Amino acid sequence: MKQVFLVFIGGGSGSVLRFLISKHLNGLEHSLPYGTFLVNILGSLLIGFILGFAAKNPEFSNQYVILLATGFCGGFTTFSAFAYENHLFLKSGDLISLAIYTLGTFIVGFLAVLLGVYIAK
């Protein structure tokens, strides 16, 4: 039950922060959803760091991993908004933005995880 509570607290905190960032950045006048992009990249960097740090430091409690990686990063990042925003690009016929956003998110997100793991080591 304690693990569920940790995920709940971490996920709620991450979700609120994601909401605030996305609301501010996605509301600007531009075609790409920079808020969603930013939270997904920051979340990728953070989860890479947390899991890299935990792998290097066995004394780092699994409870912290659950709170931060599963809870906070899980609530902070958003695949569903990313998928919906891609749907909107496809629906509007904006294939260039679709390609930039999709490839950019996957490539930069993957590199952010690698960077987070590298920083932790």
- Which residue ranges make up the annotated binding site for Na(+)? 74, 77
Mean pLDDT, 10 residues at a time, over the chain (121 residues)?
A: 96 97 80 92 98 95 96 96 95 95 97 98 86
pTM given for the model: 0.92
Domain range annotation of the chain: 2-26+33-120
Quick one: which of 1, 2, 18, 29 has its CA closest to 72?
Answer: 18
pLDDT recorded at residue 47: 98
pLDDT recorded at residue 38: 96
